[in-house]
Amino acid sequence: MKPLSLYVHIPFCAAKCAYCDFASYPRRETDWGRYFDALLDEIRFWSGPTGFGRLSESYRVISMFIGGGTPTLVDPERIQAVIEACRGIAPFDGAVEITVEGNPGTLSPDRLAVYRRTGVNRLSLGAQSFDEGLLKSLGRIHTAGQIGEAVAMARAAGFGNINLDLMYALPGQTMDQWRAALDAAVALDVEHISAYSLIVEDGTPMAARVASGAALLPDDDGVNAMQRAAIARLAGAGYDRYEISNYARPGYACRHNLVYWNRGEYLGLGCAAHSLLGGCRFHNPESLDAYLSGKRMLEVTWLTRRDAMEETLMLSTRTVRGLDTAAWAEAFEEPFQMGREAALERLQRGGLIEIGDGFVRLTPRGMEVQNAVVLELTGDME
């Protein structure tokens, strides 16, 4: 039975954040019923015979991530129905990781109790900052105080695996504010912290502010300084960095995200969800209305050998573990070093990569310029 991960997208939110370019739709409560009906129909489709065969005969589900949007905004019974329906796609592994993503201001003891009864064992909270001014500038709907309240509420409900998302390199954010956010997250004693640099996406209110000069972003040196501060503070608090932006207490690395970085197979369900299944990539429409009209599985692409090699290189070098050269040789029937000897030597001499123990991994300095390292190593892939 091959491992499979499920991603379920809930595209509803209370308000659109200034930086968000995800498929999320505020003030669409009247569409909740239609959306979940369509989502359950899609789940039923994948529970039967498909072009990839009957998944229940070939796969076991090792992780499930319910993201958004704000899944914790909708009625918890809707989330319960989705999880129960997904058990028909393929058997759930005994150690399956089931994550629900949410905002601190949208939780309640009753809501959390429903999640726990349904098998949810990991909660991911979009804290982003502990500074009230920065939260307001980002368009977040919660307060700094509600972050701690949400963690306490989740603990009382029995959650032993909680992640906090934090953002740095925000317009106007000082190093002192970033250090204070790290201290506040560590004080809450959660198992996992994701610390992401802001990426300004075209078409967002944040992009308009930056273009007009109303919002000033830090330069590359400032961004790297904040990343280094996170690495040092979190390491000192017992969090292992296992991917460029992710830190976990031992044994709490996110199983679902590791599937993506290791190019495992995953099935995306719902509006805007992407899939990698049987060597094929496809996705559902980003438009909520298009999804409700029945459109599914757009841009079906069978990956070439080169596609797989480029993806493996790009994703594996995001991890601290790095690229497994034996696994590469087995998958692509050639040594990773072949044709890259000069590039590997240059990168190693420049302190950007390390080679040893059967792995090629980026150094902390190399992770700061990961895209450039990947381009250097892409070379003449066939």
pLDDT in tens, 336-346: 999 999 999 99
| pTM of the entire predicted model | 0.95
Closest by Cα among 380, 381, 347, 379 to 366: 347
Contact 358, 327 (CB under 8 A): no
3-state secondary structure of 36: helix
Average pLDDT over residues 36-54: 96
Q: Is the pLDDT of residue 382 over 60?
A: no
Angle, alpha carbons 314-222-361 (nearest 5°)? 25
**DSSP string for residues in 76-100:** HHHHHHHHHHHTTTSPEEEEEEEEE
Length of the chain: 382
Provide the pairing of β-strand 192-197 with 162-168: parallel
pLDDT, mean over the chain: 95
pLDDT more than 70, % of the chain:
99
- In the chain, the amino acid numbered 14 is A
- Report domain extents, the chain: 2-260, 304-382
Which are the contacts of 55, defined by CB distance < 8 A and separation ≥ 6? 4, 46, 47, 89, 90, 267
Write down the pLDDT at residue 23: 86
Average pLDDT over residues 61-72: 96
**In CATH, which superfamily holds the domain spanning 2-260?**
Aldolase class I (3.20.20.70)
Q: Is the pLDDT of residue 381 over 70?
A: no
Write down the pLDDT at residue 16: 85
Contact 11, 66 (CB under 8 A): no
Show the tokens assigned to 185.
């997250």
Same fold, 2-260 and 304-382: no
Task: Calculate the CA 259 to chain-centre distance.
Answer: 10
The CATH T-level fold of domain 304-382 is Arc Repressor Mutant, subunit A (1.10.10)
Interaxial angle between packed helices 76-86 and 109-118, expressed in degrees from 0 to 180 and rounded to the nearest 10:
10
Which are the contacts of 119, defined by CB distance < 8 A and separation ≥ 6? 83, 92, 96, 98
Q: Is the pLDDT of residue 324 over 90?
A: yes
Write down the pLDDT at residue 328: 96
Closest by Cα among 149, 165, 166 to 112: 149
Other Cβ atoms less than 10 A from the Cβ of 116: the count is: 14
Interaxial angle between packed helices 144-156 and 109-118, expressed in degrees from 0 to 180 and rounded to the nearest 10:
50
Model confidence over 94-144: pLDDT tens digits?
Answer: 999 999 999 998 999 999 999 999 999 999 999 999 999 999 999 999 999
Show the tokens assigned to 313.
């290189």
Write down the pLDDT at residue 21: 82
Model confidence over 245-297: pLDDT tens digits?
Answer: 999 999 999 999 999 999 999 999 999 999 999 999 999 999 999 999 999 99
